[in-house]
Amino acid sequence: MIIASADSTWINVFDKPLHERYGPAPDEALRHISQVNAGRVWTDTRTATPDEALMMRIRLALAELPHAVSARLQDSFLGVYFANGLGSSAVTDIVVSPHSEFLGLIVVLDIEALDHAGANAWASWRERSPFDNTAAMTLTMRIADNNDDDLLHAIRFLLLHELGHALSAGRNFLPDWWSGLPDHSTVDDYSYLPLSWQIDDKRRIVPLPGNDFALRASVSHYDGDPRLPAGYMTDIYRALKRTSFPTLYSAASVHEDFAECFACYVHMVLLNRPLSVSIHQHGELVLDWRMDWRSERYARKLAFFERLLGSSAT
């Protein structure tokens, strides 16, 4: 939760079109991120300004969001802001006034994390990040066709993930990340949580039977967290293929599940873009996975997002 300064002018942001809500990360956001990262990520969180080419791609990614997405964010999305040293590709959080009045949600992008040749290079780096580096094991994630492999599509996918967080805030899809699971609440109080998750007897949100797998809880895409041996990669992805999680990122928590499924649904169903993962060991293909929303394991999530967003890019 980001507490705005007393002289904050966040409210004026809503006078702008969605694709014009951007700028260097404000001090209150940087302070909050630094506090969250303290003791975990040893990095200098600081404001940043994209170069002209990157800024053009960010504006275009915002401008080309499907109407089904942008229409739901007009009155709550405060914009995209830029920094370096976040400890992750991006951070999304709510902004409140000094008197705890809800003002909206912002996304802070780490500009250095976008230093990749194209969409597929960025996606491969992101999906492989829980594992240590070894030349023996390679992972390739494909989110763009070869003739469309531009960093623009990486930015759009990343923004869709973060906007999924923003869109879930304050609704009854799942518990809000800033307040945690309320006392006495049940899975029936939420419309998305029961699709892949349950509340156990210790009041923890854990995967439903069939959605958990060995080492799932040890997987982390965040800087500063331990890396898993790359030799576990194939077994983890084989187990993932049997769950209702579309990517390894989505298996981390119910909040990442919603955000990643939202991004995958918009990317694949509304925008008709590919998503696949392949793993090679010593140059030999050992796993090839093409996520398919028509699979029975995704049926309940598909129905949820069809109700929320529709089934065509409008």
pLDDT category at 313 given cuts 50, 70, 90 is very low
Where does the pLDDT of residue 38 fall: very low under 50, low under 70, confident under 90, or very high at 90 and above? Answer: low
Length of the chain: 314
* Mean pLDDT for the stretch of residues 82-105: 90
Q: Which amino acid is at 145?
A: D
The pLDDT value given to residue 98:
87
The helix or strand, by DSSP H or E, that contains position 302, with its residue range, turns out to be helix 299-309
pLDDT (tens digit per residue) in 40-61: 656 688 999 999 999 999 999 9
What is the mean predicted confidence (pLDDT) over 104-120? 93
pLDDT digits (tens, 9 = 90+) for 229-244: 999 999 999 999 999 9
Which tens digits make up the pLDDT trace of 147-198?
A: 999 999 999 999 999 999 999 998 899 999 988 899 989 999 999 999 999 9
Question: Where do the domains of the chain lie?
Answer: 1-115, 117-314
Give the three-class secondary structure for 69: helix
pLDDT in tens, 193-234: 999 999 999 999 999 998 999 899 999 888 777 899 999 999
Cα distances (Å, whole numbers) of residue 297 to 32, 145, 270, 278, 303:
38, 25, 19, 20, 12
Question: pLDDT for 263-279, tens place per residue?
Answer: 999 999 999 999 999 99
Tokens 């829980």 found at:
130
| Cα separation, 9 vs 119, whole angstroms | 34
State the pLDDT at residue 314: 41
Q: What is the full DSSP assignment across 159-185?
A: HHHHHHHHHHTTSSSS--TTT-SPTT-
- Integer Cα distance of 1 and 102 in angstroms: 10
* pLDDT of 94 strictly over 90: yes
Q: Could you tell me the pLDDT band of residue 312, with boundaries at 50, 70 and 90?
A: low
The helix/strand count (H/E) of the chain reads as 8, 11
| pLDDT for residue 307 is more than 60 | yes
Q: Residues 261, 246: contact at Cβ < 8 Å? A: yes
Q: How confident is the model at residue 90 (pLDDT cuts 50, 70, 90)?
A: very high
SS3 state of residue 285? strand
The answer to whether residues 276 and 288 touch, using CB atoms and an 8 Å cutoff, is: yes
Q: Residue 206: beta bridge partners?
A: 198
How far apart are alpha carbons 125 and 289 in whole angstroms? Answer: 17
Distance CA 238, CA 222 (A): 22
Give the pLDDT score at 87: 81
Burial class of residue 44, CB neighbours in 10 A (0-12, 13-18, 19+): exposed
